[in-house]
Structure formats: structure tokens, C-alpha cells
Amino acid sequence: MHDNALGEDEITAGRGRNGEIQNLEGYVGFANLPNQVYRKSVKRGFEFTLMVVGESGLGKSTLINSLFLTDLYSKDYPGPSLRIKKTVQVEQSKVLVKEGGVQLTLTIVDTPGFGDAVDNSNCWQPVINYIDSKCEDFLNAESRVNRRLMPDNRVHCCLYFIAPSGHGLKPLDIEFMKRLHDKVNVIPLIAKADTLTPEECQLFKKQIMKEIQEHKIQIYEFPDTEDDEDSKLIRKIKERMPLAVVGSNVVIEVNGKKVRGRQYPWGVAEVENGEHCDFTVLRNMLIRTHMQDLKDVTNNVHYENYRSRKLAAVTCNGGVDTSKTKNQMTRSPLAQMEEERREHVMKMKKMETEMEQVFEMKVKEKKQKLKDSEAELERRHEQMKKNLEAQYKELEEKKRHHDEEKSNWEAQQRILEQQKLDASKTMEKNKKKGKIF
Amino acid sequence: YNGTCLAKKGEGARAVPLAGHVGFDSMPDQLVNKSVNHGFCFNILCVGETGLGKSTLMDTLFNTKFEGEPTQHNQPGVQLKSNTYELQESNVRLKLTVVNTVGFGDQINKEDSYKSIVEFIDTQFEAYLQEELKIKRTLHSYHDTRIHACLYFIAPTGHSLKSLDLVTMKKLDSKVNIIPIIAKSDAISKSELTKFKIKITSELVSNGVQIYQFPTDDETVAEINSTMNGHLPFAVVGSTEEVKIGNKMVKARQYPWGTVQVENENHCDFVKLREMLIRVNMEDLREQTHTRHYELYRRCKLEEMGFKDTDPDCKPFSLQETYEAKRNEFMGDLQKKEEEMRQMFVQRVKEKEAELKEAEKELHEKFDRLKKLHQDEKKKLEDKKKSLDDELNGFKQKKTAAELLQSQAQQAGGSTTLKRDKERKK
């Protein structure tokens, strides 16, 4: 880390945000980056979407008007409790406010009819649908090929109004918060807190927080800071949760001071008095210190959850194999398809090799069979040939034998003939000699 | 105090007056605090021939000695070396990455010199795009490596741009913010410098090279930015050595004929560069990189992969539909390949079977022939046998007849004459 201290020399000149010459030495200038960011953000303007949910008559409209010091809800634009609906609607009104050179496009989303019916089952569904549809819009806009500056209409914060019964949360309260805590930043508020004494309020708050923890509801949490002072502040806020609020835009004079409050025969409940209610805490937290963080958490946590759920559904096509899905999450759907393609190619190659092997084997078999058959036929042929040859030999032998016999006999015959001849000759001789007759 | 209203028709938002101080004017501060806590990051690419003082300028700009040995001229190709540094000034932390082109301009054939630079820039875009497309992504903590500014170092010849410069800048102008600077400008006299700058600017314009223009849309900085735009390209001198001028130590280069003071606006445009690059427009450079150059890259890449925003009937696609369509196409493709392979195998098997059948047929024919041969031989043998048998029989008869005669002759005893006669008659 290179820590450049601000020196005292006057040679190097740099210009600050407003153009004044600052006396610096070794000044590089990127310390001015925050100013650049400031400048650009002011030029761009800001946007914020706040959702208000609660039964009618809990002072939601008054509170919004008090928070923003304006008649957001007026005769011309009545609040949700005055717009009686048969079913729960989700409606939005957009206003543009400007202060100190900073422009804010504020969208207030309210839910007339919420919790007012006899049967309130699923009255949270339109709310969930609304939040999801805004996330969907953002997702589609973000995923376009041609992207333009995307307006952020996602719900950044949901103020949930709890009726000041003093006892605990109603089943509807619990059900609603359980279903929405992982989709949006939920900030529970105790409405019309001027009907509770401080002690009752304390007990009520304790009870509510206990039930929230029991049901594992995750309400909006303030981020940790390294700054000690900020940490102290945050801890103080956390102790006062859920915030008990009172709203009013009527200005009353109290002890010479003009304050906003509610006039009762017994006194004035001051809206901005920290001992009377937590309105100031809410306003400071919601608008003055944590508005940006609410947007960041919506973007980095709630929206990202929505997005990964949506994309996982598209990629995995419904099939859930947990060992595979874990790996898939770290890729984009396209990379996932690439991976599947590679896997498929490998599988095909393997299949090809296998088929090849089987083919070769079968061919070998057949060839072998042919060979065997050939060998067998040859053998038989050989044998027959040998057989024939043997017969031939036998025949030859017989013939030779016969020839021999024949020549012997013929020789014998010739001898006999000769003898006969000799005998007859001798006889002839003797006859001639007159011996015989 | 009262807030003021703004009418912005067409947005669906009605302007309302405020009855007091609400407090959202702290939003910019909230945003700034978040950014400061998160830290900033900036990436500079220095393109220029070896020896133009790129490293020295970086050292001078950021008031620190970055690592590295001076490079030699014998590099075989253009390589990009990047180093990341963590700097801090007052409470602002900056993660600065300086990328240097090593070996640029040193080869005999420089036709491909720009390629490795373009590739490097694209790689950073691609990495960001991949992160952005992941199912589970962490953009918030992603270390952005995309190049936010490209300082193009022009050699101080005093004449004009080199063709390598024009070619390279033309290839880079749609991918990165280019800020051209004249390096080692203490070698050029003031009059030469003016002419040089005019020549360079006109060459850039006539070749259609889009260099980065300091933005003039924000009134706060419009004036200074437009003035500075007129001073481009900045003629800079870098030095980390300090020389005593008067009673102060200043960054300077000492010559026998005088001392060039880096931070003296009469001597060079170093201060202007620092002003524009760091103090005034660093955030705009980052923004332009993200919203213009990166978007262009992303759009081209997605179109290449076949993504569209609307279907043939001009109805917009939802993301889900797009992915599903892609997936179907992809699956169909795989199935087709599989089918092709199978068919090929079926074909081969058929062919081989025919072959083997043919061989079998031949074999059978061969043996039929042999069989016939054998039959013939057998017949011959039979014939021979028969003839022998006939001979044997004939001989037997003869023998029998002869023996009969002999026995008769012996029986007849003395009538040998008759025998003789008979024999004679025979």
C-alpha cells in the first residue's frame, strides 16, 4: 500500500472539485474519483421503489406522506385504504421529487384489499407475482442482445404494517413475511404506535421479534460497518426493531415550536420526537442512510436468487440431480450446453468404439467359421482323395498280382506246351523209328 | 426549504412538491460511500515501441516505482505483460493494473503486431461476459480486468504517424478508449510540436480513427474537457528523478542546456494528461468501457452464437424462450449426429455381410467343383475296376478251360495223337 501524505509544498498544482487550487505534493489525483462518481450519479438521477403492505386503516398513506413530506396520496390520488377492492390488487404510483440538486423517481407500490377479506388465503400471491414480474422484466432487459439503459423497477423495500394489538403477530403477518422475506427486503413496522404506551410497546416489540426468530423470518438486516460510530448507531436501531411509527402531516404548535403531530385532548403525539415514536429512525434509515444499501441488497441478493433459480430451471430442464446442479451453477447456461456437448461427443465416441469392437468381433467370428468350414471340407476332400488313392493302390496291387499270376500261368502253360511239343516230337521220332506201332 | 418540481412527461411520473427536507439528497453520498468502501479499480494499457518511456511515464503519473526491468529489443513477437498494484490516496483505494506491450514495433514484419493486443482486450471482455452469463454469479466482487484506457505512445519524430501506429489504432478504436500521447516530447521544439500535433490529428481524422473524447455533456466539467480535447495528443515527458529548482525538489530531466520540468505546463502536457486521465475523467473512462466497448463486444458475441432479440414475427423473445430454443436446437443437433453415426454403422455392417456372403458362396462353389472332380475320379476308378474284373474273369475262364483240357488230356492217356490233333485243330 502506498500511502501518500498531503504535503505542504506549493509547486505542484491540482484542481479540486470546485476548481480551487489545492496545495499538494505528490498528489496523483485518484482521490478525486469519489467526486467523479458523485457528479455522474447526480446527473443520472436516482430511482427507488417502495412497497407498502397492510390491512386498511393502519395509516399507511399518512406515513408515506409524512416520510416524503408530500401529498403523494391526496384527494386526487387516494390511498389504498380508500380504494376498496374486492380482491387484492397491486398498484403503483410514480412520482418525481427533487431536492438539493438530486432527482429521485419514487415508485410507491401499494396493495389495496390486502387482509381485508373474510378469507385471506393467498392474499400474498398477487404481491409475490408483482415482485417476480419486476425481476423478470429486469432479467429480460439485462439478457437482451441490444441492451439499453435499464430502468430499475424492482421492489427495493417492503414496509409491512402490523396492527398495534399489543399481543403478537397475527397468522396473516407471519404467513406474509415468511413468503416474502427471501424475495424482497421486509421491514416490519408497528402502525399507529400512539395507541400503545411505551411499556406496552416494548413488550409488543419483544414479542414480535421473538416470533420472527421462531419462524426464521429474515427481515432486512443492517450491514456491518467498520466505523465504530456507525456500528453504535446500527446497534441502537436494531434494539428498537420493529419500528413503531406514527404519521401525520398536520403541523401543530407545541411550546412555540411548529411540529408535525397528532392532537389529542391529552396532548400532542409528535411524529418526529424520538421519545414518542420511531418515525425519525425509520426516515433516517430508509431515506438518509440506507436507501442505497436497500437497492444493493435487492440487486445482489434477491434479484440474483431469482435469476439463478430462473436460469437453473431453463438449463436443467426440470431434472434435478444435485451433484450435477452444483457444478452447473458456476457456469452460464451456454457454457453448460458446451459442456453437455462435449460429454455427448465423448459418449458417442465411446459408443462408436464399442460398436466398432462388436463389429470386428462378429466379422472375426464369421471369418473364423468360414475358415473352419473350409478346413473341414478340405479335410474331407483329402480323406476321400486318400480313400480313392488307397482303392487305386489296391486295384493296382490286384492287377499286378493278377498280371503276375497270369504271366506265371502263361509261363507254366508255355512250359507245358513245350513239354507237350517235346513229347510229341519224341513220339514222332519214335514213330519214325517204328518203335511205337 | 422547498424542493422544486420537475416535469418529466412520458415517464409516467408526476412531479410533486416537497414540504420540507426529506433527506434523499444524501443518495449520491450514500453511493459514494459504498464505492469508497468497495474500492476502485482501473486498468491502463500502454501501447508503444520499446524505449518510448512507457514505464517511466507510469511511474511518474502514479508517483511510484512500479516493478520491471527495461525490455530489450529482441522480442520475437508482441507480448502483453500486466501488473496489478494496490494504491491508496487519502481514503481512496485503487487497484491499478498496468499492461505493457513488450516488443511492440521491434519485429521486421509488424503486420501481426496488433493481433496480440486485440486478443488481450477481447480476452478480458470475454472473461467478464462469461461471469455475467453464469447462473450463479458474483459480479459484485468480480475483479474487472477490462482495459479502461489505452495510452498510445507516438514516437517523437516530428513528422507524422507511422503506418504501424495508424493500423494499430484503427484496430483498437472500437475496442478501447484510445488516448494518443507524444512520448519523450522534450526532443521536439515548441514550433515543431504544434505542426506535429496538427499533422497527427489530421491523419487520425482522415483515417477514421476514433480516439477518446473527454466528455462535454456535464456542465461541471464541459469547459475544461473541451479545452483539453483541443490539446490532444498530449506531449509528455516522464521522469522520476528530482532536481532542485529554487528551493524545491521537482521531477525533471536535466540537460546541459536546461532542465525540463515534468509538471511545468509550459514545458510539456504532463499535468494535462494527469488531470484528464485521473482527476477528471477516470470514472467516465470506466463507464465508456462498460457501456460502449463492452456492449459492442457482447452484442457481436451473442449474435455470433445465434441469439436474437426478436423472433421472425418481431415479437420479443423472453430469456427463457431464447435459452429453450437454443437448447432444443442443440439437442436436435446432437441427436442428428448420433443418428448419422448409427446409419453409417448399419451401412458398414450391410457391406461386410455382403462381402462375407460372397466369400461363402465362392467357397461352396469351390467345393462343388472338387466334389465333381472327385466323382469323376471315382467313376474312372470304377471303370478301371470293372475292366480289371473283366480281365480277371476272362483269365479265370481261360485258366479253367485250359485246366479242363489238360485234365481231359491226361484222362485220355495215350491218345496223345488225338490230343495233338485236337491241339492242332485248336
* CATH number of the domain enclosing B90: 3.40.50.300
Residue B255 backbone phi and psi in degrees, to 5: -115, 165
At A424, is the pLDDT very low, low, confident or very high (cuts 50, 70, 90)? Answer: confident
- How far is it, in rounded angstroms, from Cα B135 to Cα A202? 44
Return the C-alpha cell found at A130: 408483482
Query: CB of B120 within 8 A of CB of B171?
Result: no
Identify whether residues B378 and B356 lie together within a single domain. yes
Question: Of the ranges A63-72, A83-92, A208-217, which one carries the lowest mean pLDDT score?
Answer: A83-92
Identify whether residues B300 and B323 lie together within a single domain. no
Averaged over B191-196, what is the pLDDT? Answer: 91
Residue B6's pLDDT is 31
- How far is it, in rounded angstroms, from Cα B56 to Cα B181? 14
Identify whether residues B183 and B295 lie together within a single domain. yes
Query: CB of A140 within 8 A of CB of B319?
Result: yes
Beginning with the edge strand found earlier in the chain, give each strand of the sheet holding B242-245 in spatial order: B242-245, B248-255, B258-261
Averaged over B194-216, what is the pLDDT? Answer: 93
Residue A41's pLDDT is 93
Q: How many CA atoms lie within 13 A of B119 on its CB side?
A: 9
Query: CB of B143 within 8 A of CB of B173?
Result: no
| Residues B270-316 pLDDT 10s | 999 999 999 999 999 999 999 999 999 999 998 887 777 765 555 55
Range of the domain at B223: 38-239+268-305
Residue B195 falls inside a structural domain: yes
| Residues B169-187 pLDDT 10s | 999 999 999 999 999 998 8
Query: Hey, is A15 helix, strand or coil?
Result: strand
Tell me if B327 and A41 make a contact (CB, 8 A cut-off).
no
Give the chain A residue nearest B338 (alpha carbons). A348
Identify whether residues B59 and B100 lie together within a single domain. yes
Residue B245's pLDDT is 83
% chain B with pLDDT above 70: 88
Query: CB of B57 within 8 A of CB of A104?
Result: no
Task: Supply the DSSP symbol for A151.
Answer: P
Tell me if B248 and A373 make a contact (CB, 8 A cut-off).
no
Q: Determine the straight-line distance between the first and last CA of chain B, rounded to whole angstroms.
A: 175
Answer whether B142 touches A (CB < 8 Å): no
Query: CB of A336 within 8 A of CB of A320?
Result: no
The answer, yes or no, to whether residue B16 has pLDDT greater than 60, is yes
Answer whether B384 touches A (CB < 8 Å): yes
Answer whether B350 touches A (CB < 8 Å): no
The predicted complex's ipTM stands at 0.73
- Which residue among A101, A145, A413 sits closest to B402, beta carbon to beta carbon? A413
Identify whether residues B193 and B336 lie together within a single domain. no
Return the C-alpha cell found at B307: 441469439
Return the C-alpha cell found at B229: 480535447
Residue B421's pLDDT is 57
Return the C-alpha cell found at A127: 404481491
The alpha helices in B216-318, defined as continuous H runs, are: 219-229, 270-274, 282-288, 295-304
- How far is it, in rounded angstroms, from Cα B45 to Cα B79? 12
Answer whether B215 touches A (CB < 8 Å): no
Identify whether residues B134 and B180 lie together within a single domain. yes
Tell me if B283 and A40 make a contact (CB, 8 A cut-off).
yes
Identify whether residues B283 and B337 lie together within a single domain. no
Number of domains in chain B: 2
Answer whether B244 touches A (CB < 8 Å): no
Residue owning grid cell 404506551: A197
Residue B16 falls inside a structural domain: no
Task: Choose the mutation target among B8, B11, B129, B136 for the interface with A, i.e. most A CBs under 10 Å.
Answer: B136
Identify whether residues B326 and B184 lie together within a single domain. no
Task: Choose the mutation target among B1, B5, B18, B31 for the interface with A, i.e. most A CBs under 10 Å.
Answer: B31
Answer whether B410 touches A (CB < 8 Å): no
Mean pLDDT of chain A: 82
Q: Using a CB-CB distance cutoff of 8 angstroms, which residues of chain B are in contact with residue A366?
A: 356
Answer whether B18 touches A (CB < 8 Å): yes
Tell me if B24 and A102 make a contact (CB, 8 A cut-off).
yes
CA A22 from centre of chain: 51
CA distance, residue A97 to nearest chain B CA (Å): 6
CATH topology (fold) of A35-314: Rossmann fold (3.40.50)
CA distance, residue B212 to nearest chain A CA (Å): 18
